Amino acid sequence: MTKLKSLGELEALRKSIIGKRDPKKTVITICNGTGCQAHGCKDVTATFQKEIERQNLSAKVDIKSIGCPGFCERGTLVVIKPRDIFYQRVRPEDVPEIMTETIGKGNVVQRLLYTDSKTGKKVTYEPEVPFYKLQKRLIIGNNGLIDPTSIDDYIAIGGYAALAKALKMSPEQIIDEVKKAGLRGRGGGGFPTGLKWETTRRAHGDTRYVICNADEGDPGAFMDRALVEGNPHSVLEGMLIGAYAIGSHQGYVYIRNEYPMAVRHMQTAIQQAEEYGLLGKNILSSGFDFDIKIKRGGGAFVCGESTALIASLEGRVGEPRAKYIHTSEQGLWGQPTNLNNVETWANVPVIINNGADWYAQIGTENSKGTKIFSLVGNITNTGLVEVPMGITLREIVYEVGGGIPKGRKFKAVQTGGPSGGVIPESLLDLKVDFDELDKAGSMMGSGGMIVMDDKTCMVDVAKYFVSFLEGESCGKCLPCREGLRQMREILTRITEGRGKKGDIKLLEELSATLIDAALCALGSTAPNPVLSTLRYFRDEYEAHINEKRCPAGVCKLEAVKVNEG
């Protein structure tokens, strides 16, 4: 690879990559995401390779390992391009038939097609699969088009064009564009991104840092993982644009070490970008220098909290501190620091490429763009879904998600991860955006969405999330450490039939204290699962305490002794 020295050379490279590729050539794209790896995609890929060699088709057929396109439920996913024939649940033994029938004769293998659960009809082409059709895949859509370990693939689909455009703009213009677009932080806080960039740019300091938070830690959430694994260059491009706007020359990607493929793909992407001169000194002869380092996290949920993440990055114990001085003023090593989440960074190139006005048309008044959700739990189509802000929960659950399996009834959906809240059936028509979810007692969080059917006990759900948070509390501040310990104890005794009168009141008082007094957002949002289940399913708590009965039939309540007391 030779270093690109100008915007013109980048465009010339793009033309040459595209020019060398035959758009009519058959490409078998196989999902290599973590979900499909669990389904055995590596064996499927190996079998395709063997078959192609055996049939001497190497010159005519390409194989491409792609990142996660989101439809994890149906893995291993195989798409035959350019026709976009969509095969699902492909096993190694299906490969010879695909090779003979589809590659050889151009026929479609009917039994591997997806059947629409609503109409009962087979769907042949990927864009027509209802799961995808109802989404707006601005960010995650590219996962299906590229090999994440190939910078040329990214450049071929228009990658780094936003950087080229940004380098011709002034930093202030970029910040204005991001502000006008209305982009808000996707990590959970929902803070306006442009404003954060502006504060960091204006802060006093010798050096400015930008950080990408890839420390996703919510149980059941994997959207950031899929983005870093499936399209790491989009994150790097966002960081480059942000760094240029903020005036930073050093960036960090903080990735949890439990995401080995994400770490590997990010390392490859950084190396490739350096080789092309898209990272390093005097990028594309613009005079702008920027380097990125990877820091691997040890897997502490609390390190999603900015001050704890920064402490961990500095090599100290990942514990938060009071944020009376913002990290945008004094962050990493005491210098102005801008921290954004993976998905936020990945949105930046989309905004610069298409313009703020175009971007701001998507979404609701105060929540613009799309959001990727991990749709999991009792749902037919488990996977990652990217939907425009303002879509209703009903549409996500029943249209995109395909409803509740086994003919069961919907009961609630937990949004916002462990410190989010449950939303009951009566609020299914709620428009999903930052403010509406807050009003309902839950939150956007980083985008976890756990669907629960009528066989779910809501007290048990609250206990599960509180136990998770108790285990992840750093233990520094008293209300979080002692409060969550006691909260879990109370919930445990309720689910075991030892609940006492006054327990609900005590849970509420304790929750109020955590909200007011905890040091960081882990503690202050920790009562959400309790408060939201109490708000919508109080009768279940009462049944456990007063009647020693679990309405959902989940909890094994101790038999009540007749002569007790």
Partner 1 sequence: MVKLTINGRKITAEEGTTILYAARENNIYIPTLCENEAVAPYGACRLCLVEITTAKGRERLVTSCIYQVEEGLTVRTDTDRITRIRRMLLELLLARCPDSEVIRELASKYGVTRTRFTKQKGNNKCILCATCARTCEEVVGVAAISLARRGVDREMTTPFSEDFSDVCIGCGACAYSCPTGAITMEDVNGTRVIKWPHNQMEFKLKKCSVCGRYWAPEKQVEYVARTSGTPLSDYDVCPDCRD
Residue type, 13: L
- The nearer residue to partner 1, 245 or 484, going by C-beta atoms, is 484
Indicate whether 471 belongs to the interface with partner 1 (CB under 8 A). Answer: yes
Which residues in the 293-312 window bind partner 1 by CB under 8 A? Answer: 300
- In this structure, the number of other CB atoms found within 10 A of the CB of residue 361 comes to 11
Indicate whether 486 belongs to the interface with partner 1 (CB under 8 A). Answer: yes
Residue type, 368: K
Which residues in the 382-441 window bind partner 1 by CB under 8 A? Answer: none
Distances (CA, A) of 152 to 165, 237, 286, 549, 553: 19, 14, 22, 61, 55
- The nearer residue to partner 1, 159 or 483, going by C-beta atoms, is 483
Q: How far apart are CA 428 and CA 263, in angstroms?
A: 37
Contact with partner 1 (CB under 8 A) among 175, 391, 519, 555: 519
Cβ atoms 530, 511 nearer than 8 A: yes
- Residue 519 beta carbon to partner 1: minimum distance, rounded to whole angstroms: 6
3-state class percentages of the chain: helix first, strand second, coil last, to nearest 5: 50, 15, 35
Q: How far apart are CA 345 and CA 343, in angstroms?
A: 5
Select from 39-47, 344-352, 458-466, 479-487 the region that touches partner 1 (CB under 8 A): 479-487
- Residue 460 beta carbon to partner 1: minimum distance, rounded to whole angstroms: 20
Select from 105-113, 249-257, 318-326, 443-451 the region that touches partner 1 (CB under 8 A): 318-326
- The nearer residue to partner 1, 369 or 529, going by C-beta atoms, is 529
- Residue 165 beta carbon to partner 1: minimum distance, rounded to whole angstroms: 38
Indicate whether 510 belongs to the interface with partner 1 (CB under 8 A). Answer: yes
Cβ atoms 236, 148 nearer than 8 A: no
Can you tell me which residue has the tokens 């879990």? Answer: 488
- Residue 65 beta carbon to partner 1: minimum distance, rounded to whole angstroms: 37
Q: Which phi and psi angles does 468 have, rounded to 5°? A: -60, -50
Select from 24-32, 183-191, 508-516, 538-546 the region that touches partner 1 (CB under 8 A): 508-516
- The nearer residue to partner 1, 46 or 478, going by C-beta atoms, is 478
Indicate whether 485 belongs to the interface with partner 1 (CB under 8 A). Answer: yes
- The nearer residue to partner 1, 303 or 413, going by C-beta atoms, is 303
Structure token digits, residue 523: 């503690």
Indicate whether 333 belongs to the interface with partner 1 (CB under 8 A). Answer: no
Indicate whether 12 belongs to the interface with partner 1 (CB under 8 A). Answer: no
- The nearer residue to partner 1, 92 or 483, going by C-beta atoms, is 483
- Residue 318 beta carbon to partner 1: minimum distance, rounded to whole angstroms: 9
Indicate whether 249 belongs to the interface with partner 1 (CB under 8 A). Answer: no
- The nearer residue to partner 1, 68 or 526, going by C-beta atoms, is 526
Going by the DSSP 8-state scheme, the letter that residue 62 receives in this structure is E
Contact with partner 1 (CB under 8 A) among 479, 497, 499, 529: 479
Q: Write out the H or E segment, with its range, that includes residue 153.
A: helix 151-156
Indicate whether 324 belongs to the interface with partner 1 (CB under 8 A). Answer: yes
Q: How far apart are CA 360 and CA 375, in angstroms?
A: 25
Residue type, 336: P
- The nearer residue to partner 1, 84 or 496, going by C-beta atoms, is 496
Contact with partner 1 (CB under 8 A) among 475, 508, 549, 557: 475
3 state DSSP class of 94: helix
Instruction: Determine the angle formed by the axes of helices 528-546 and 458-472, rounding to 10 degrees.
Output: 130
Going by the DSSP 8-state scheme, the letter that residue 426 receives in this structure is G
Bond from prior residue into 82 cis (ω within 30 degrees of 0)? yes
- The nearer residue to partner 1, 187 or 479, going by C-beta atoms, is 479
Cα 514 off chain centre by: 27
- Residue 195 beta carbon to partner 1: minimum distance, rounded to whole angstroms: 16
Indicate whether 103 belongs to the interface with partner 1 (CB under 8 A). Answer: no
Q: What is the largest CA-CA distance in the chain?
A: 87
Q: Which phi and psi angles does 464 have, rounded to 5°? A: -60, -50
Binding-site ranges for partner 1 (CB under 8 A): 300, 321-322, 324, 470-479, 481-486, 489, 502, 506, 509-510, 512-513, 516-519
